[in-house]
Structure 1
Amino acid sequence: MKVSLFITCLADVFYSNVGKHTVELLEKLGCEVDFPEQQTCCGQPAFNSGYHKETKEVAKHMIRTFEGSDYVVGPSGSCVAMLGEYGHLFENEPVWKEKAEKLASKSYELTQFIVEVLKVENVNASLPACATYHRSCHMTRLLGVKDAPGKLLDNVEGLKVNPLPNSQDCCGFGGTFSVKMVPISEQMVDEKVQHIEETGAEILIGADCGCLMNIGGRINRKGKPIKVMHIAEVLNSEVK
């Protein structure tokens, strides 16, 4: 099965290891992975800030970039969800709207692809640890991916995943929200860290680098002994 990697900005610039683990995991599951080098940001920061005209140009570029791909898979529910929003930008441009909808139909977040397309719920990973999982807002609400991460984590040998209180709450990142609304964002992430501590987990697992960067940064500033891991790293741990 041929898969094109949608690396996303944060994974590309700050968390290259996440991209590496994503590719290794997909290849171990029998996928042939390519990387279209022309890909750019999905345009979400501009879109969320109201720059829809500029976002349309980004969307057209991304649509052209992945036009020949069978599947597009990314290690971020938020960014993949943005690909699904392109159609709304072209309500008055039927040709581009059709192309946008075609891209959306073949685009998947990593765990979503593994469970829904590859029909795999056990990747034979092993990680003896106590963890908790953060549900990112866009992945859960916009993309609608709720169960796939849990199904995969439940089958990681030695991993105990404790429920996170108020798991539906935002971590306070929200892209530019964390920059424009600093006091509110800080209160939100402080509450998230508090709930993580309440679980007794030694590892926080998430599927969006933005959330992990925000929560992980707060954990570090508070000096908490909690490790932050992207779910791709967990699922690629000691794959047999």
Structure 2
Amino acid sequence: MANKRVGLFVTCLVDLMRPRIGFATLKLLETAGCEVIVPDTQTCCGQPAWNSGDAPGAVALAKKTIAEFEGFDYVVTPSGSCGDHIRTEYPTLLAEEPDWCGRAMALASRTYELTDFLATVLKVDSVPGDHDGTITYHDSCSGLRSLGIKQQPRALLAMMKGVTLKEMNGCEECCGFGGTFSVKFGEVSAAIAERKCDNVLASGAQAVVGGDLGCLLNIEGKLRRMGDETTQVLHVAEVLAGRV
């Protein structure tokens, strides 16, 4: 695996809101022996456009992403949501264009969410992080329900001696973000987020951890508005990689 070339799809939110997740992902992959390349022309996977009904925009971004990443042995992203869009939706989006559809399917077969890649493909037996404390894990919708991301992050976190996992009630329930859902249905989104945050606080964990930054931003924002200033909200890559 050490000779495998991995294209890192950073995601829009990570690039713009919390770049350290990208650097943590890079550290994890390189520590595991991968050659990692970050195409500097990458932008969005097209999921927001697709979810908002802009099919032409989504198709254009899909083709752009395929062209940028199809030369790698694997594509890895620290997001179940973006990973799911590339793996599941690209072939559908391009179904009426045989050449592009074939390229989309080929890319989809080599695209992985970060923890799935580390646990399932690389089968790592250690991680470089040194986090110490109790955490509770939020399972993001797309990663859980479409990609089967459940035990992978927990198995990786279990490798860390200082980490104690305290499962919250409703860990598999939506946080209320849902991309454009939180904009279109703000009151419903806020109510769902409050229930999620109540469960986070009831767990007694020092940190809530997840695999999608959109969920984490939503959860952190609600926690702070509820008056909680101490619970850490961390991406799983940040915990697994430690300081970068």
TM-score by length of 2: 0.95
Residue 232 (structure 2) aligned to one of 206, 227, 234: 227
- Tell me by how many angstroms 1:121 deviates: 4.2
2:162 aligns to what SS in structure 1? strand
Separation in 1, partners of 2:237, 2:227: 25
Q: Give distance in 2, aligned partners of 1:114 and 1:52.
A: 33
What residue number does 1:210 align with?
214
| Partner Cα distance (1:167, 1:229) in 2 | 15
After superposition, give the CA deviation of every residue in 1:197-219 in whole Å (9 maximum; x if it has no partner): 11100101011000000001111
| Runs of 5+ consecutive residues of structure 1 not aligned to the other structure | none
How much has 1:39 moved relative to structure 2?
1.1
Q: Is 2:56 the partner of 1:53?
A: yes
Amino acid at match of 2:91: G
- 2:192 maps to 188
Q: Which runs of 4+ in 1 moved over 2 A?
A: none
Residue 90 in structure 1 maps to residue 94 in structure 2: yes
Q: CA RMSD in A?
A: 1.3
Question: How far apart in 1 are the matches of 2:110 and 2:41?
Answer: 18
Which of 168, 171, 181 aligns to 1:167? It is: 171
1:31 deviates by 1.1
SS in 1 for 2:36: strand
Contact 1:124–1:155 under 8 Å retained in 2: no
In the TM superposition, residue 28 of structure 1 has moved relative to its aligned partner by 1.2
Is the partner of 2:58 in helix, strand or coil?
Answer: helix
Confirm whether residue 201 of structure 1 aligns to residue 205 of structure 2: yes
Deviations 1:124-179 (A, max 9, x none): 53222011000000111122222111111111111101012011210000001101
Q: Which amino acid aligns with 1:184?
A: V
State the distance in 2 between where 1:154 and 1:70 align: 28
Do the aligned partners of residues 237 and 153 (structure 1) sit closer, same or farther apart at CA in structure 2, a change above 3 Å counting? same
1:238 CA displacement: 6.5
Residue pair 1:45, 1:176 contacting (<8 A) in 2 also: yes
CA contact 2:28–2:128 (8 Å) conserved in 1: no
The share of aligned pairs that are identical, in percent, is: 45
Give, as a single letter, the amino acid of the residue that structure 2 aligns with 1:103: L
The answer (yes or no) to whether the contact 1:127–1:238 under 8 Å persists in 2 is: no
> TM-score normalized by structure 1?
0.96
Cα distance in 1 between the residues matched to 2:139 and 2:105: 26
Letter in 1 for 2:221: G
Secondary structure, aligned partner of 1:3:
strand
Contact kept? 1:5, 1:73, Cα under 8 Å: yes
Matches of 1:31 and 1:39 in 2, distance apart?
Answer: 20
* Number of equivalences: 239
CA gap 1:238/1:10 in 2 versus in 1, 3 angstroms: closer
